[in-house]
Structure 1
Amino acid sequence: MIMSEKKKQEFYKALVEKNPQYDGIFFAGIKTTGIFCHATCTAKKPKYENCEFYLTAEEALLAGFRPCKRCNPLHYPHSIPDEVEILVAAIENNPEKRWKEADFHELGIHSATARRKFKEVYGMTFVQYARSRRMGMAFKKILTGKKVIEQQVSVGYDSPSGFNDAFTKIMGNPPKKTSISIIYANIFSTPLGNMISLSDANYLYLLEFTDRRGLEREIEKLRVKQNARILPGNTDVHTSLVHQLNLYFSNKLFQFSIPILKSGTPFQMRVWDILSSIPPGQTMSYQDIASKLGDKNLVRAVGNANGANQIAIIIPCHRVINTNGELGGYGGGIERKKYLLELEKPIGK
């Protein structure tokens, strides 16, 4: 979520004064060092313009910051169990690592115990923590690597230059084929938090909130399917997207004209077409969509197709609710779904 300037000033004052009442309330990301701290950190205080403030550790990790070793921001409000401390250190030694069951045994840790304690201390699972750290590194590369040398791209990726995309280390290389496509990544802010867009000169491939669960897997599948390198860089499609989303969040636009490339099964495509037909300010139930498809027993399949949508907001999966009127699930989180439906409500009257 976007934080008000007043709240940022309040948090900065607490950071400068080392106010213990704010420990655990916010995390301060320090741009010059790449670390995040809690309010009472004893390190030299940065300038205000070099600070970013987050309400959760996951947000700070996804922004590319690592825990400060001096103030140990993740120790609050409890001391960290030995298993968790070992795992945090292991992640920092190899942030790109994709953890498997055998890796826990090598550290002499029972995975179930470690995962449970991780959840108790940080409010997120070990998998979420490791994923957030990996994705944060990739996101940071996108945010700081806007300039792409096209000649370097056209030479090829096995050249001595060692030119890699933003996700190579954490996902591996896509299959090597004769023709490699280039997809450009951008991260931008919205009133509901940061979003990532993947696009080329012709289409938008993905639009998601950066903290969406399963985002890493979505991007990995996209890279393989399109045999693509994902590089930081702008496109006309992305520029139009940000412009239209700004109008949307300002209640000035509710019909998008962004060219999108849908990539799914024939059934998923049919569901997404129905989603796109739901007018702003209106909702449809999973049962309604199943009936439109000619089989009321397809509710679960409809839900799965809805969850597989990779173009948030524009393909409005947030307009699908339960038959009893409850909001149901949403990949970006229920609070965001509620916000979007409230935003669109006036247009449906």
Structure 2
Amino acid sequence: MIPHVVLTWVTTAPGGAENSVAELAGNLARLVPSVDVVWWRQGGPSAGSCAPAHVQEVTDWHGYQQVLAHACSPSDDRPVVVISSHRTAAADVLLAPNARVIPVVRHVVNADQVLRVISPTDGSMAERTIGTLPWELLGSVPVWVGISHASSAALRKHAPQARYVSTIHNGVTIPAEAPARTRPDTGRLLIASVARTVPWKRVDHLVRAVSDPRLSTAVRLDVFGEPGSHQPDLTRLATQLAAPVRFMGYADDLPQRLADYDLLATASVQEGFGRAVIDAAGAATPSLVPDAGASPELVLDGLTGMVYDPDDPNDLVAALTDALLDREMLARMGSAARALAEAWYTPGRCAAQYLTLVMGQQPRSLAAAQ
């Protein structure tokens, strides 16, 4: 029997993960008869359209408990598979004992990294490391998903209790045609970065790089993303260094915006996927990424973008200088990046891979769960 699929998500701020969950829900609902989305807003955005999936938004623990229990009790007694995340996985296992729960890890975790998770007993947001998650509940999880090979490898290393880990790269909807560039040609290299301004995104490395005297008069860096805890420090740093940087805030029309940039640059070494790289590819804009985390999986060095040593500030400056001096190279890379995104990073491919996992899950009986 084809399972009923439920996706759960807790959102605390707008970002790429929210878009990825919504796209997965909509595309899965084109493949299976029914998909429910339980979207818990804790300061983050509304789910928007996940059509043809059915979305139910909640704002508190009581609502989450009720809606999830109802979503996991279909009237026709079909088996239920819950596609979860590390935040709600333990709660989902406890609240839906007759369902199979597949948690998705969207980070490159390490042993000491603090993860914010929902307590399965009272719904509060607790801070745990990967090793101190409630594995007495999570031991029943048959398969975990990492959204990149780097994410999966880190999970296997730091959470050996996860019995099986599958890698499914996110899918990203890109325009049927690359958006037209509308900015005037000033000769300056325009660089975009998409990152919430929190320390682990390491935006300060980009700010320092573009302030280098060899670059500062010929480049500009625009940072798109929700202001975070590091925003005041970054603003002060940019002022102190007289860096050519603008903080643009969150943009929901990112693919169109990125068409007006020569290059996307990132600095995080813990990126679980890096959706902005594929958004940029959809605009035929190449990316410059560190050789760490999932970034090297998304960018083929010298073909669809450039990869630099994150431990060597001079290597970042050198890569930006190469980009400044060879715009034809950037155009070729942008075209190749778009072709790669069209071929592989599609929402349909992503949904089909999740469907393979969903169809492989055998339902647990209530007696076994108890």
TM-score normalised by length of structure 2: 0.27
TM-score normalised by length of structure 1: 0.29
Q: Higher relative contact order at CA 8 Å, sep ≥6: structure 1 or structure 2? A: 2
Higher helix share: 1
Higher strand share: 2
